[in-house]
Chain A
């Protein structure tokens, strides 16, 4: 088998693994998790009718989405109204291309790194995708030709752009220590040294808060603040298009959690545990997803615990607190690295 063919096959296999885990296993059940978690926190049962513990609720939801009537408002821009959810969903799903979801597995005598594309501009790739995702929100709001939608779209656009800065700057600090823009290099650095959440606690904090804002989750879910904007940018969406928004929200959440895990929580690694051989590789995958799931739980926990910010509070938090903090963090990290001299 030529290296080219092997590379191609390996890539396909990796994509299959990631999507299988994410789309088939994680995504539908997150809805169930969220609703059960909400029930737990709010001291009520939550969905418990469909299947054991209501576990098949996800299947029922998906079915419902497919079967409902797809309504497009009369004065909407039909093309953009249709495209917008896709624009939102695609970046969320493709972020995983650069996230290392495991160490490496020996297959047919070759080591296969468990990352779909280990490119050297990984971080920039993620940021670029995030910035494209904004279009989904803004266009959905604009195309609906509805004032609530428009306000929601503009709000979310501004919010995502604002927090993207802090998020990027916080993330850059981890790449400065690792000396590379490859996410896999960051994980390797953490394996050799220490998890970034300890030396870069400030950056970690900024990144997590910004991730909440980026995913439009409570306490930053102003674009869809139901009290003021009905449902924000997806007010005019129904059926499967609404389903895509729904999916993309959870996909974004998974992507953000995965980024947090990769950059700050050691990725697929565990301290003092070597990952070698086939089983080590598989175990590393499990570790990675377990960590991601834990972070997702934090997301859910926060959602049902904290109240929503006001819009001006959101903006001043982003520009006046997080941005200076992340810049200071970056400067401090860069200074320390520069003091240590070239690696």
Chain B
């Protein structure tokens, strides 16, 4: 009981703290690393939500591939530090902060209101049994979501080709 709560507090705290660090940090490499830690926290939360498969996928795809890609690009472009000079758009800055926080407050209200479960969770017969997540997701992917699955496959291919062409050096 309390162990679970403790674990949640640890993971959520880790995620939020490092997310903040990511935003505050001026060095892009450190930002990326902070985000990795945040993802680690999210992964733990996902496991707690009986989604170990998704958790592993987040770790493999996000931490293992996407963020490494970010690191590569940072190293390739040699982006060591963000510009030190003052933000030339203070209005934008203040307005952005205010609106983001306002939106955050509203969203919090919205999610928490919608967060009341429609049925008592324990009464739900179709609760996801943690052990059967992978076959369940697999079956859904290849039945109800088959078209979306194929579409995403095509999208990934297109993205790969597009990325290649975009980053290719012009042969003049």
Contact = CB atoms under 8 A, between A and B. Distances in A.
State yes or no: do A and B touch (Cβ within 8 Å): yes
B32 to A, nearest CB: 9
Interface stretch (B4-12, B68-76, B145-153): B68-76
Nearest to A150: B75
A124 B60 contact: yes
Contacts of A142: 29, 71, 75
Contact of A121 (B52, B63, B64, B72): B52
A164 interface: yes
Contacts of A132: 36, 59, 63-64
B121 to A, nearest CB: 22
B21 to A, nearest CB: 12
Contacts of B29: 77, 80, 139, 142
Describe B's contact surface by its main secondary structure.
helix
A77 B98 CA distance: 34
Contact of A154 (B30, B52, B57, B72): B72
A90 to B, nearest CB: 12
A314 interface: no
A128 B75 contact: no
B137 to A, nearest CB: 11
Contacts of B60: 124, 127-128, 131
B33 A139 contact: yes
B16 interface: no
Contacts of B72: 138, 154, 157-158
B161 interface: no
A128 B63 contact: yes
Contacts of B36: 132, 135
B57 A124 contact: yes
A239 interface: no
B56 interface: yes
Nearest to B130: A120
A131 B134 contact: no
B133 to A, nearest CB: 8
Nearest to B36: A135
A77 B71 CA distance: 15
A246 interface: no
A134 interface: yes
A124 B65 contact: no
B131 A135 contact: no
Contact of A131 (B27, B59, B71): B59
Residue among B53, B56, B72 with the highest chain A CB neighbour number at 10 A: B56
Nearest to B134: A181
A158 to B, nearest CB: 7
A125 B60 CA distance: 9
A255 to B, nearest CB: 16
Contacts of A121: 52-53, 56, 134
Given A127-B56, A132-B64, A164-B64, A138 B71 contact: yes
B163 to A, nearest CB: 15
A131 B27 CA distance: 22
A120 B75 CA distance: 37
Given A142-B75, A154-B75, A161 B134 contact: no
A158 B30 CA distance: 20
Contacts of A164: 64
A80 B33 contact: yes
26 contacts: A77-B27, A77-B29, A77-B30, A80-B30, A120-B131, A121-B52, A121-B53, A127-B56, A128-B60, A131-B63, A131-B64, A131-B65, A132-B59, A132-B63, A132-B64, A135-B63, A139-B29, A142-B75, A150-B75, A153-B75, A157-B68, A157-B71, A157-B72, A161-B68, A164-B64, A181-B134
